[in-house]
Amino acid sequence: MQGLTDKNSRPMEVVNYRQLKEEIEKLKKEKNAVILAHYYQRPEIQDIADFVGDSLELARKATEVDTEIIVFCGVHFMGETAKVLNPSKKVLLPEPKAGCAMADMATKEEVLKLKEKYPNAWVVSYVNTTAEVKTISDICCTSANAVRIIEKIPSEEIIFVPDKGLAYHVSKKVKGKKIIPFEGFCPDHYLFTKNMLLKLKEKYPNAPVGVHPETPPEVQDMADFVGSTSQLLKWATSDQLDAQEVIIITEIGLKYQMEKINPKRKYIFPTPEEGVGYLFCAQMKSVSLEKVYETLKEEKNEITLPSEVIEKAYKPIKRMLELS
């Protein structure tokens, strides 16, 4: 942001968000760039994005982009997926240190060990994995399509990497297949407990409950609806849902879109005001407007991957997009 000032020569740091947003808009046109953002991003980031979505929608969108630059407001594995789908484009991650703790729990070596133990099993990787892990996976999935993908693939035995919460959801829904879960989890979703949900339910006895499948099994078992961020958004804002208020157990960023789409309903997320701690992904929230501006201006923080990794990681992602 160096050198950028407002009309009164105030440095950019003290200039309001509006000017920053205008500067980003200008840069986007000048540089032929598009901004993609996940639902967990801060509201001001969702507002400047050309497209906001869940992991599956963002991966799909990344295949349709015709600009030279993609600024990916999300965590590292999402930027990697966009790069794998668009190897010739510049994919920039405004906060290069924004990783996903769950994705980092599964290493290629550990997955290979499981493959050795279960040689007939297919490896199904949640997109929340590194590109390295994708290179040894048979197919990818997201929380929006995991059930459909596992129903459709020919294997009876599945090594499911890395989320044991999503593995539980799939095992409940898909009959006749053996799911071998990897011991990974999302430290933000998995720390939400049954007692916390009981507390919210006691306070709002008439509110139906929607939860993300990254929550623990006992929380999923108490829910009226289990779904990905986009599925929760659709369910909670629908006019078909007969409720004045609804309890949603996922990252707080999704509340912004819910209120935008259907402001008549009250969306109760875990927050200290509700008597339970925030469900908050610090990595997702580490992206700021200032970082988007600087990244785009300097075309820095580019995602790079060896061509061999791109080639091998492309196959399971493409398979997923074809099947879902």
Given the rule CB under 6 A, which residues bind ligand SF4? 75, 100-102, 128, 186, 188-189, 214, 251, 281, 283-284
Helices 55-64/76-85 angle, 10° precision? 30
Segment 8-67, which members bind ligand 13P (CB under 6 A)?
54-55
Choose from ligand SF4, ligand 13P, none: what does 101 bind? Cβ within 5-8 Å by kind.
ligand SF4
Residue 138 DSSP one-character state:
S
Taking CB under 6 A as the criterion, the residue among 129, 135, 143, 257 binding ligand 13P is 143
Choose from ligand SF4, ligand 13P, none: what does 228 bind? Cβ within 5-8 Å by kind.
ligand 13P
CA 59 – CA 42 distance, rounded (Å): 20
| 15 versus 101: smaller Cβ distance to ligand SF4 | 101
Minimum distance, C-beta of residue 99 to ligand SF4, in the bound complex (Å): 8
CA 157 – CA 164 distance, rounded (Å): 16
Choose from ligand 13P, ligand SF4, none: what does 143 bind? Cβ within 5-8 Å by kind.
ligand 13P
Strand partners, 247: 209, 268
| 86 versus 324: smaller Cβ distance to ligand 13P | 324
Choose from ligand 13P, ligand SF4, none: what does 80 bind? Cβ within 5-8 Å by kind.
none
Q: Which residues contact 2 (CB under 8 A, 6 or more apart)?
A: none
Segment 221-250, which members bind ligand 13P (CB under 6 A)?
228-229
DSSP run (H or E) holding 158: strand 157-161
Q: Which amino acid is residue 196, in one-letter code?
A: M
Segment 262-281, which members bind ligand 13P (CB under 6 A)?
none
Helices of type H across the chain: 17-31, 43-48, 55-64, 76-85, 108-117, 131-134, 146-152, 164-173, 194-203, 217-220, 229-237, 254-261, 289-298, 307-323
Minimum distance, C-beta of residue 231 to ligand SF4, in the bound complex (Å): 15
Strand partners, 124: 139, 160
Output the DSSP codes for 265-290: SEEE---GGGTS-----TTGGG--HH
Strand partners, 141: 126
CA 9 – CA 19 distance, rounded (Å): 13
Q: Give the range of 16-24, 44-52, 89-97, 140-148 binding ligand 13P by CB under 6 A.
A: 140-148
Choose from ligand 13P, ligand SF4, none: what does 145 bind? Cβ within 5-8 Å by kind.
none
| 284 versus 305: smaller Cβ distance to ligand 13P | 284
Choose from ligand 13P, ligand SF4, none: what does 283 bind? Cβ within 5-8 Å by kind.
ligand SF4
The contact pattern for ligand 13P, residues 181-210, with x = CB under 6 A and - = no contact, is -----x------------------------
Residues of this chain that bind ligand 13P (CB under 6 A): 54-55, 128, 142-144, 186, 214, 228-229
